[in-house]
Amino acid sequence: MRSPKNKFYLGIATFVALILGFWLVRDIVATVRGKSQGADSGAARPYLQFDRPNLPSKAPWRHNSRRAPGIDEILFGLPGERIIRFDGEKDYRDFLSRIGNSKLRLLGRLDGLRAVRVGFDNREDLDGLLDDESAPNFRVSIPDLPQVGAQPGAIGFGRTTLEWLGITSDNSGWGEGVRIAMLDTGVGQHETLGTRVRQIDLVSSSQPSSTEVHGHGTAVAALMVGRDGISQGIVPAANLLSIRIADQNGSSNSFLLAEGIVRAVDEGSQIINISMASYGDSLLVQDAVAYATEKQVLIVASAGNEGYTVPAYPAAYENVIAVGAVDAAGQHLDFSNTGDSIDVAAPGFEVLAAWPGGQYTSFTGTSAAAPLVAGALGAALTETQSGQLLPLQAQAILESNLNASGAPGHDPFYGGGTLDVDRMVNTHTDGRFDLAVASNWFEAPGPDEV
């Protein structure tokens, strides 16, 4: 039992702790918000270049574009970096001319979206060049190996992935003339990738050695354009543009992701695969997705492997095809993120894929599922009886030929259903009757309905 004196001291200590806590929180908030009072009145003002509302999100919640820094910036933003976007060419060029005389470091520029990536040592260094509406540069990474893990009894695909998708005949000529871009870790040497892969490196100006390239990108590439019969892709004859935006650890950021999307579009890609994700909602990435959408380029992205019900970006954006993962029994995998943002589910458990150095790996995660959907879209562009299609027509074929799974209608685990390439490429074949696969769903009656 505490004495009255001890209670008195304890009360004083509690009161002091509360006062200190209040001042500490106030200072942190003030620091994060930055100081706009002393900004130069002639400073260029950042803006949303496309002059439209934020891209709609398939997720049930979103932050407003203009908001005080929140927990997402604190947790997922890169410290000492900001992204700035400008209203017009004059403001953009004016900023570029003045930054050399400031304490800011120009880490990157994206002329097509009039955006820069800057580094700083102190937030006060931003004063005089811009206001406090600059945006964070969020971390982007390849999805971690599933920490949640697959449920007991999950069945791996191994070498049966193509057969499971309905590809049972020779597909070596599929995808001829199709241009697919991949934003990832780059591609290492492997015989299955042949000579149809072109590489652009946005991470390093020098060609990385084989030890500097994470194998993730090689595995993703093989699932689309592999052609050795062991790790056979869906569209082996397609042309793949590998844009390296992640280092050897699989780490990237919002600026490089946006730059990669714009570069892929400008290089003439019809489909972009992004087996990477972020939990920071970047306005610059929104701009890049909008740019791709205006050019009618399809973007496919992995949903993430954390087992979360919150959205991962860019998969959560309305104009991005978000892909979840299933096992060989067609069952949702527990590690695959869920929610309203999911559009389709595809194989994502122990899928045989290529690895640098002529090796192969058992590839698990939504990173494996996304390129299979991208490859299927490539197949729809060239292999249907309708002849050469436009990307948006291929997307419509994908969405109308999924195998129903889970609850009726759109499902938070499977989206519109599971991928079926056979149904897609034969959707308009004469004499072919489409027998879609559907899972049964029964809802038990309530006590008042019995």
User: Which segments of 175-276 are extended strands (E)?
Assistant: 179-184, 197-201, 239-244, 251-253, 271-274
pLDDT in tens, 54-64: 456 665 444 43
Q: What pLDDT does 72 receive?
A: 72
Residue 128 lies in a domain: no
Q: Which of 69-78, 129-138, 188-197 is most confident? A: 188-197
* Residue 371 DSSP symbol: H
Which of 20-29, 135-144, 198-207, 303-312 is least confident?
20-29
Average the pLDDT over each of 107-111, 143-147, 182-186 and give the range with the smallest value. Answer: 143-147
Q: For residues 348 and 362, is the Cβ–Cβ distance under 8 A?
A: no
Asked whether the predicted pLDDT for residue 347 surpasses 60, the reply is yes
Is the pLDDT assigned to residue 182 strictly greater than 60?
A: yes
Quote the pLDDT of residue 75: 84
In a domain? residue 315: yes
Residues designated as active site = 184, 216, 367
**For 109-212, where are the alpha helices, taking DSSP H only?**
161-164
Residue 286's Cβ-side half-sphere holds a number of Cα atoms within 13 Å equal to: 25
pLDDT band at 381 (very low <50, low <70, confident <90, very high): very high
Task: Encode pLDDT of 239-289 as tens digits.
Answer: 999 999 999 999 999 999 999 999 999 999 999 999 999 999 999 999 999
**Residue whose token pair is 């937030």:** 123
Res 441 pLDDT > 50: no
- CA–CA distance, 182 with 261 (Å, rounded to integer): 9
Note whether residue 284 is domain-resident.
yes
CA dist., res. 98 & res. 110, Å (int): 17
Phi-psi region of 159 (alpha: psi -120 to 50; beta: other; left: phi over 0): alpha
Q: How many CB atoms sit inside 10 A of residue 159's CB?
A: 13
Q: How many CB atoms lie within 10 A of CB 125?
A: 16
- When pLDDT is cut at 50, 70 and 90, the band that residue 134 belongs to is confident
Q: Which domain holds residue 349?
A: 141-425
Tell me whether residue 436 is in a domain. Answer: no
Residue 131 inside a domain? The answer is no
- Name the percent of the chain lying above pLDDT 70: 75
CATH number of the domain bearing residue 284:
3.40.50.200
Residues in the chain, overall count: 450
Q: Which helix (H) or strand (E) holds 139?
A: strand 139-141
Query: What's residue 26's pLDDT?
Result: 40
pLDDT of residue 35: 31
pLDDT one-digit tens code per residue, 291-332: 999 999 999 999 999 999 987 999 999 999 999 999 999 999
Looking at residue 369, the DSSP 8-state letter turns out to be H
Residue 100 falls within a domain, yes or no?
Answer: no
In a domain, 184, yes or no: yes
In the chain, the percentage of residues whose pLDDT exceeds 90 is 64
* Angle CA 368–369–372, to nearest 5: 95
In a domain, 401, yes or no: yes
Rounded to whole angstroms, the Cα distance separating 236 from 422 reads 16
Higher local confidence (pLDDT), 264 or 440: 264
The alpha carbons of the chain give a radius of gyration, in whole angstroms, of: 25
Q: Please state the domain count of the chain.
A: 1
